[in-house]
Amino acid sequence: METKDYYTIIISVIALIVSIFSNFFQKTKEDKRAIRKNLSDTLESVTKINIENTKLRQNNIEITPENIELRRNYNTQRRILIAHADYLISTYDKIVTEIDCNIVAIAYSNIGDPNRAEFYWKKTIEKSVSLPIKHMNLRGYASFLFNQGKMESGRNKYREALMIDLPDTDNNRDMISDTYLMWAKSEKSYNNENEANKLIEDASSFCSRIGNKGIRAQRQKQIEHMTNKKEIDDKTTSQ
């Protein structure tokens, strides 16, 4: 065999190998993109069902056999979607984000599966991409724990969220103020009024340090609402 033919064969083999690997990586990339879209579409559908359920509650729609059946159908559809999302997340963890886990955690909580909900809350926190996001996920988990009757665990998670060293900006002051209000609401749900009042005061303290008037006014309005609600509840109780 001539040297020229030998080099031609070598070049052809190398080109074939490069082509095979290129096609493989391209297919892998396309498969990941398809799986990612599938997961996003599934979670979007879960969110839409949550919105429709919220509308049913807020509109005080008359309880009829038809409306009960509608809610059951929503719940069945949501369970199917959650099971599919759970499978995708468990199988393709590397393409999963914290918001994916957050949606699934809330969905499992809504359908009455606290064990899977807690698993996904922990996964949500683990996948947090920044300190502010981790703060929000920790307080969400804390609220979930309170709803499960795990008050002390919930308090620990609220504290953990508030211990995160965030930059001293208006957005973060507002978020911290909101976290104190969330914690206060959790305490009030168990009639821990004294603790709730202290937390509302902490929320007000952070709110007062917000420089942006619009942001400060919105948060102050929420604080006033909680304070006024407490006063109304106290009057009702004393009558």
Which pLDDT tens digit goes with each residue over 15-36? 666 666 566 555 566 767 889 9
Give the SS3 label for residue 113.
coil
Residue 5 has pLDDT above 70, yes or no: no
**What pLDDT score does 87 carry?**
94
Number of Cβ within 10 Å of residue 195's Cβ equals 16
Homologous superfamily, domain 128-239: Tetratricopeptide repeat domain (1.25.40.10)
186 alpha carbon, distance to own chain's centre: 17
What is the chain's mean pLDDT, rounded?
Answer: 86
**What pLDDT score does 61 carry?**
63
pLDDT band with cut points at 50, 70 and 90 for residue 228:
confident
Phi, psi of 21 (to 5 degrees): -65, -40
**What pLDDT score does 235 carry?**
42
CA-only gyration radius of the chain, Å: 26
Which tens digits make up the pLDDT trace of 44-103? Answer: 999 998 888 777 776 666 677 777 787 788 888 889 999 999 999 999 999 999 999 999
| Cα first-last separation, the chain | 107
Residue 183 has pLDDT above 60, yes or no: yes
Structure token pair of residue 187: 């305490």
Instruction: Yes or no: say if 203 and 187 are a contact pair by the CB < 8 Å rule.
Output: no
Contacting residues for 224 by C-beta, under 8 A, at least 6 apart = none
Q: Where are the domains of the chain?
A: 1-124, 128-239
**What pLDDT score does 33 carry?**
87
Q: Assign residue 61 a region: left if phi > 0, alpha if psi is -120 to 50, beta otherwise? A: beta
Residue 223 has pLDDT above 80, yes or no: yes
**What pLDDT score does 11 carry?**
67
Measured distance CA(168)–CA(144) in Å, rounded: 27
> HSE on the CB side for 132, CA within 13 Å?
11
Instruction: Yes or no: say if 141 and 131 are a contact pair by the CB < 8 Å rule.
Output: no
Phi, psi of 170 (to 5 degrees): -60, -45
CA distances from 216 to 59, 85, 205, 210, 212 (A): 30, 38, 11, 6, 6
Residue 189 has pLDDT above 60, yes or no: yes
Which tens digits make up the pLDDT trace of 111-133? Answer: 999 999 999 999 999 999 999 99
**What pLDDT score does 32 carry?**
79
The mean pLDDT value for 195-224 works out to 96
Structure token pair of residue 202: 């902490």
**What pLDDT score does 231 carry?**
46
Measured distance CA(194)–CA(232) in Å, rounded: 16
